[in-house]
């Protein structure tokens, strides 16, 4: 869970910047070595940025940095 907390703390300030979008979130997440990219890709297989907003990221410890579209922020799960 600490991996997801760390990533959500890094991403949430970005959500408040103008022009924030899924590509900026993905780029920021790429700097986090604890992201499990194969699992993230599988989880977001049907991802549509026009509908979903941003992706959720699966961490190597099994936790998830989940995008909450209604709240426009990330939360660790």
What is the total count of domains within the chain? 1
**Residue-level pLDDT at 1:** 76
Residues 15-50 pLDDT 10s = 999 999 999 999 999 999 999 999 999 999 999 999
| Domain extent at residue 43 | 2-76
Element (H, E) at 4: helix 2-15
Edge-first strand order for the sheet with 57-58 is: 57-58, 64-68, 73-76
Q: What is the pTM of this model?
A: 0.93
């Amino acid at each position: 869970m600490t991996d997801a907390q760390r990533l959500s703390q890094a991403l949430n300030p970005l959500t408040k910047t103008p022009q924030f979008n899924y590509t900026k979130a993905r780029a920021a997440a790429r700097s986090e070595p604890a992201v499990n990219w194969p699992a993230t890709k599988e989880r977001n297989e049907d991802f549509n940025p026009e509908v979903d907003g941003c992706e959720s990221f699966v961490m190597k410890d099994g936790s998830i940095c989940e995008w909450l579209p209604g709240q426009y922020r990330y939360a660790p799960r």
